[in-house]
Structure formats: C-alpha cells, structure tokens
Amino acid sequence: MSLAGRLAGAVDTALDRTIAPGYSRVGYAVRSRLPGWPEDPEPGALAGRHVLVTGASSGLGTQTARELAALGAHVQLVVRDRAKGEAVRAGLAAELGEVFTLRTCDLGDLEAVARLADELAAEELPLAALVHNAGALPATRTESPQGHELSMALHVLAPVLLTERLLPHLAGQATRVVLVTSGGMYAQPLRDDDPEYLTGDYSGTTAYARSKRVQVELLPVLQRRWSGAGLHVYATHPGWADTPGVLESLPTFHKVTSPVLRDLHQGVDTTVWLSAVRPAPAGGSLWHDRRVRPVALTSKTRSTPGQVDRTWRWVCETLELPEEV
C-alpha cells in the first residue's frame, strides 16, 4: 500500500475510534475526500430491479428510498401509518416519477410481517435489496402483539422473519440485505441471558442499543445461512444523523450535537452504496462510511461464540425456524 493509502487508513481509523469526529458530518466530509474512497454506484445501477425499504415514511427511510430510486430502482415503501406513507409516496413520485409502491405493515407484529412476505413473494418482484430500516425507541417497556419486547421484535425478529419468508423467492437474485443499525450498540454487550429485557430497570435507550447489538452479532450467522440463496448481508450505522427520530427520542442529544449532525444524504450514503455498488462487497460485516468496522471496541462488549449461538437459538425458537438450513 502506498504512503498516501496508509495515511488515509490511519486518519479513517482515528476518526472511527474517537467516535464524535467520525460519527459527525466532519467524519463524512474528511473520509469522502481521502484517497481510496470507494467509487459511487454507476448511474442506473438498479434499473429494472425493485428495492424494499422499511420505515420509509420519514428520515433515513425516505431519503434511502429517494436515492435508490434515483439509481433506477422501483422502491417498495413499507410504512405503518398509511396516511403518512401516502403523503411521502406522493412527494417522492412528484420528484422522481411513479416508481414507488406503498405497503402498510406494523413490523412489530410478526403475523403482519408474515403476511407482507407472502404478498411480496406472490408478486415475484425482482428484488435487488431489502433495507431493514424501521426502528423505534420506546420510553417504557412495550410488548409486541406476540408478547416480545418491542425493540427486539422490530429490529431483530421482523427483519429475520421477513427475509426468511422471502428466501425461496430470492434464491438466485443476488439480493443485498442491509440492516440499518446504530453506533449506540457499541455501548452495550450482548445479553443472551435476557434478550427480552425482563430483568433490571428498563431503559428505552439501552433496549434500543441491545437490539442493535444483536443485529451486528448475528451478521456472520445470517450470511452463512442465506449465502446458499445468493444473498449478501450487511449492517451499517449512519453515524449521528439529523432525523425526526433523534429529535423526538433524544432531544437533549439533538440540541447539543445539532451543529455537527449529518444531513440525511450523509446518513444513508453507505446504505445506498451497499445496496447498489457492483460487484457486491463480501457479506457478513458491519459497515460505516463505506468501510468495514469492528463490532466491538472494548473487551466489555466483545461477545463469545457461545453467546452468539445462544442468541441465535433464541431467535430461531421464537420464530419457529430450524437453526440450520
């Protein structure tokens, strides 16, 4: 590697490990100008293909849909609130044309997720990517219709179930699966002993981070499981992005950091890049700013294979899936 390449790598790593500079708009601005910044997807890279984006009615979800459509995709917008989703769909269509289909689904409800998967499979859409972006940060412990802690149901169980139910249809399509996670997961260890947050004083922020920790820890498991169907599995965290969710759920954080928060384009850049760039990067890893990142930064949050195995067993038992396929 050239000296310039080594220096660029050192700057990139320093930004990543110091958190605040790397997660802010400063980190994106610096990295995107360093030597070795990966090329953008080609114009029209998704022409003739469909992409599914959950949580598409605001913030990062809407921006992801916008940028994927700009690359030629027909975007399936999955929302919970149909009226809000229809307003977003109409706005996007006015910008980019009638290349958006609205679908309503409460992703916290596993029965609704199964129905959505069956609906999509019946239509046999050429799906280039599934972007699992939907998220929530409940202030108090909330259960899904099936009795699961809502953060875990929405961020882990729903994406796995939706992808699993679509798997026979996706075989051979080289589909990308992108889990939009959070840098907050770096603060939490994998709680394989209490995935439903049944013990201790409940914190919505902690529950959110724990569920995001599960997402990244399961990446190698999901890549092995789904690779036979030709899928590439990634997680990406957007850094500190200025979204309605951050403003609503973390108002103090938003107020303090607002001068350096990323705009929506910067927040979705790697999600869009992973969904469209050719050839597909190797799956099974966490990404941020178009680079693979470690899933743990300290020994306190580093998981053991046994913890990951027990967590995956809980997911399979909960969703009634075989552990191996």
SS3 call for 15: helix
- Of the chain, the percentage scoring pLDDT greater than 70 comes to 99
0.85 cut: is pTM over it?
A: yes
Q: Where are the domains of the chain?
A: 1-37, 45-319
- pLDDT tens sequence for the chain (325 residues): 677 778 788 888 888 888 888 999 999 999 999 999 999 999 999 999 999 999 999 999 999 999 999 999 999 999 999 999 999 999 999 999 999 999 999 999 999 999 999 999 999 999 999 999 999 999 999 999 999 999 999 999 999 999 999 999 999 999 999 999 999 999 999 999 999 999 999 999 999 999 999 999 999 999 999 999 999 999 999 998 878 877 777 788 787 788 889 999 999 999 999 999 999 999 999 999 999 999 999 999 999 999 999 999 999 999 999 988 6
Instruction: Mark whether 208 is an active-site residue.
Output: yes
Question: How is residue 320 written in tokens?
Answer: 């009634």
Element (H, E) at 74: strand 74-79
Distance CA 236, CA 262 (A): 15
The alpha carbon torsion through 189, 195, 196, 199 (nearest 10 deg) reads -60
Residue 243, pLDDT score = 82
Domain 45-319 class, CATH top level: alpha beta
DSSP label at residue 228: G
Question: How is residue 323 written in tokens?
Answer: 């552990």
Question: How is residue 99 written in tokens?
Answer: 């290349």
Residue 238, pLDDT score = 95
SS3 call for 130: strand
| Rounded alpha-carbon distances, angstroms, from residue 170 to 226, 254, 309 | 10, 39, 25
Question: How is residue 122 written in tokens?
Answer: 């019946």
**C-alpha gyration radius of the chain:** 19
- Which one from 28, 186, 197, 208 is the annotated catalytic residue? 208
